[in-house]
Amino acid sequence: MSAAERARDHLGHSRWWLVLAAAAMMAVVSPYQYVWTAIETPIAESLGVPLPAIGLVFTLFVVFQAGSQYPVGRFRDDHGPRSITALAGFLAGGGYVALAYANEVWQVYLCYSLGAVGVGIVYTVAVNTALKWFPDRRGLTAGVGTMAFAAGSAAFVPFVRANAAPGAYADVLRPMGVLIGIVVILGAFFLRDPPEGFETGGESGESHEREGRTYTPRETLRTWQFWLMYAAFVAGSGAGLLLTAKVVQFAAALGLSAGTATLSAVVLPLAGGVGRLVVGGVSDRFERRYAIAGTFAVCGIGLVGALWAGLQGLSAAFVAAVFVATFFWSPLYALFPALVVDYYGTPYSSANNALLYSGKIWGGVFGGAFAGWLVSASSWSTTFLLGAGLAFFAGAAALALREPR
């Protein structure tokens, strides 16, 4: 039987229902990453502190979101996804509710960090649900889940931006937190992992069925391919997270209108979501490392274009360049998880992907705290050119990858 038939025989329904449940959870937790740039200023004004005082929040989010994924992945591979996902509902939902009541900077740090752990749980469970159930469509289904994480926040950004004032943002965060908790806890009951041997139980010629050996996390760390992927992931995520974290401030610093800044913030998740789905699906038909190399190259061009358009005061060109850079940066979160399974197998996919995803910590440090320092120490031009250089490096590194033997 094909993978789809084996899944229906085991589940009693289509395997796509699991992907839809995972995508819904990803959509509701996405504001943690994509809405922060819209709420950091009103939070700082409400607390009566300068903006740099809470500039560390985005970096903390990335550290806790990415850093939590390895222990979560090991637990999920051993015990399944349900209980750990239910916990994520309380952490991610409660983090936003508690943030609405924060009146000290350290409380903002704590609330966002706890919420980030919940986001990390949802992320690793959702992505690996697709990878485990779809050996024939890894790029596409990983793209569906990560698309929801990017595009889902587009529904929240205009609402948050319209209420981004010191006296109004708390009334936005509370209902968002309740919604996050409800959707994630309900979604947890839909998830389960396939039986042992599911990946190779079908016809020998099925697309992307893997016949190679399975790698444990320790064995994965011993291959040079993993460390080259890690370097590319760190560089690529740093380039994109720079744009994600700084696009509103960047547009304002270059003298572009508030409408341009808002439109750019809306374009980010939309472009990222569509890019993950489209490029992820295309990568199932070609060698995946070439897809990774091409997307990073175009992302670097987009970052240079955004800098040039901003310096020239060209609002439409600036938004278009932001769209291009994000469309071709964001697929890394669909392509790399699929490539990890292509190289190392599915039984330890959650843990192996979590090892790679930890590279987002260093990307977040660059896109958040380091980029903020570099802008003040040098200029926006230097910062964005460095980001473009990282994207080009990541693309070149991807071309050198080969499947472990």
Distance (Å) of CA 198 to CA 10, 22, 36, 87, 201 = 10, 20, 40, 27, 5
Task: Please tell me the predicted confidence (pLDDT) of residue 203.
Answer: 40
For 189-314, where are the alpha helices, taking DSSP H only? 217-221, 224-253, 258-283, 288-312
Q: Splitting the chain (405 residues) into consecutive groups of 10 residues, what average pLDDT does each group show?
A: 82 88 92 82 85 80 86 87 94 94 91 94 88 84 82 76 74 91 93 79 43 83 96 93 85 87 83 86 87 94 94 92 93 90 87 88 82 86 93 95 88
Asked if 189 contacts 114 with a C-beta cutoff of 8 angstroms, the reply is no
Give the number of other CB atoms < 10 A from CB of residue 162. 12
Alpha-carbon distance of 361 to 128, in angstroms, equals 20
Phi, psi dihedrals of residue 167, rounded to the nearest 5°: -95, 0
| Cα-based distances in Å from 260 to 154, 289, 323, 330 | 15, 35, 13, 21
Model-wide pTM > 0.85:
no
> Cα separation of 250 and 401, whole Å?
34
Q: How far is Cα 122 from Cα 116, in angstroms, rounded to an integer? A: 10
| Cα separation, 202 vs 9, whole angstroms | 12
Gyration radius from the chain CA atoms? 20
Give the per-residue pLDDT at 326. Answer: 93
Instruction: Give the C-alpha separation, 375 to 372, whole Å.
Output: 5
Whole-number pLDDT of residue 201: 56
Residue 113 CA to residue 91 CA, distance in Å, equals 9
- What is the CA 68 to chain-centroid distance, rounded? 14
Cα separation, 18 vs 294, in Å, equals 30
pLDDT at 79: 87
What domains are there in the chain, each with its CATH number? 3-399 (1.20.1250.20)
| Collapsed DSSP state (helix, strand, coil) of residue 48 | coil
Which of 137, 125, 165 has the alpha carbon at shortest distance from 353? 125
- SS3 category, 207: coil
Residue 51's nearest CA partner among 266, 369, 360 is 369
